[in-house]
Structure 1
Amino acid sequence: MTQTHRLCPCVASLLYSSQTFGSKQLPVSNLILALDFGGTKFAAAVTDNRDSWIGKDLMPAPAPASAQADYAGMLAMARKLLAGRQAAAIGVSFGGPVDAARNTVILSHHVPGWEQVPLGEWLQRDLGAPAAIDNDANAGALGEYTYGAGQNCSSVFYITVSTGVGGGLVANGRVWHGANGMAGEIGHMQVDPAGPLCLCGKHGCVERLASGPYMAADARTQMTSGSALWVLCAGEAGQITGQLVAAAATRGDEVAIRLIERSATALGRGIGNTANIINPQRFVVGGGVTKAGSRWWQVLQAAARATALPEITIDIAPAQLIDDAPLWGAVALAKAVGTGHQP
């Protein structure tokens, strides 16, 4: 990254002096370890505060899935990156509900065993550095606010549209978690009460209509023989992914176009409703589905504008940090550890 980054107000001198965390005196270090427990892949990176990674690694999420396998895989990747060096602090983005105040994972919707796991304690025990944790949407919001498309904005609502749909709000340098730590859940805003059933039990949620896996699932049942979508998957419905739906839409496939436009409309309505309630300065949208093409973005903008009050300015920008937004948010979380304040 080459842009000038605005740091969180609480970074102080964490990276350049010896710090006491709890009862431990850490050695002088300027290394930050960032970890991202994603839905389908894990990422780990190390930075020395020079606005770029000095090391980064990726791995597929372990299969069969379990909290133990997830943690063991991430720990091994982190140790490999650190190569015997001591991190000053650790920041973590986790794909599921998190109690950020306690640095504890509440649960994972997709992987068993993560219920009430004190992940911050585990990491400090095994890597010898304090850790700060938040969910992936909040981490992504903090990353884009601090280092990406949200720079120079007083408030940013970040949305990731990929395996699911998540959201996070950062205002004046602080993540807004809400009374129960559940603020920002735009993915489960109901925009079509007569729509299909969502995993959460409601009908017509933004996530059910806009996310990649759900688009793919609907395409499998609606695909017609000989269509562009049928050709791309060689007639094998099980091979259809969200990316394949987007590719078929660019080839004029009617089913794919309808699903892409439905995705963008649902998210646009969610953005418009959120704008009516929160009125953030900017919405930043990232995730794999945002690569669906210009038509997706056009429909998104139009639906948001049609839903929001006319007095409200709708500013929607694509994420700058792309897949690294949660990792850079983890960096910002780690930098705040030494002050005892959440960003």
Structure 2
Amino acid sequence: MKPIVGVTMGDPAGVGPEIIAKALIDKGILELCRPVVFGSCAVMEEAFRICGLNVDINVLDEESFAYKNGAVNILDIDNVDIESLNRGKVSGDCGKAAYQYVEKAVELAIDGRIKAIATAPVNKESLRAANVPFIGHTEMLEKLTGVTNPLTMFQVDSLRIFFLTRHVSLRKACDLVTEMKLYEMIKRSFAALKRLGVKDPVIAVAALNPHGGEHGLFGDEEENEIRPAIKRAADEGYNVVGPFPADSVFHFAATGKYDAVVSLYHDQGHIAAKMMNFEKTVSITNNLPFLRTSVDHGTAFDIAGTGIASEISMIEAIRLAGVYSRFFI
């Protein structure tokens, strides 16, 4: 039986409904999983109209959850007034609605009724206007699942990237590159890959400084913090190598030499993924009770309601949810 993937609609005023509408007619997705939209049926119907798509919609009853093949299946969370919806604008009502979609999807995922969640984008300002006490999906998922410090992995084609540090300044990120922090990240990354079905993974660690520091010539973080962390993990049986200069390690991982790369700071990994394929980059949250994937872009308020937003990242997010959920236990 194909896994059921919950697709949260995101902010109703953004491009989420439109990219979901276009993604759900992709035959490749339907061969891998059974997607169910968590959102407003009225907004989704309007999104199909905007995108010029004529589809059969099946509104699911939460109790029976009777999926209909050949239709777009929606769990209707009727929390949006379609007549007053102002696309492309910050709205507390839309921020609240977006949170409620995630909340319901998490509830059903924890109950085991859906196998994974693929999320369309939310808007931080709309969440704030709704007094939702979270700035994004990661913070919501932490609260709703009780999991602290969820592990994010980017994937674009065959390239997988973990992040030692993320939303901090570059100056602070350098200070956070410590032997213990990196050692723990290496172990967590291995566990995440195995949970995703990667057998005997090989992980490379990116260097922090140009040319890997040139043995202290361009900085001492590699010698004092990074190499000791790698050696400690390797001595314990983890197949981890590096540090390798960041200008080459992502290329070699993308060509299959390594199963993943540990990036030491936000832009180091983001630039590598998005230069490889901006639209196909997907964010995967690993250490939750269920699998979660997400598009790696925002609500694009400037083009909301036009039907021109690309659905490629949404297709990839749902596709990877379908692929990996087979292994996710």
Same fold (TM over 0.5): no
Q: Which has the higher contact order (CA 8 A, sep 6+)?
A: 2
TM-score, normalised via structure 2 length: 0.29
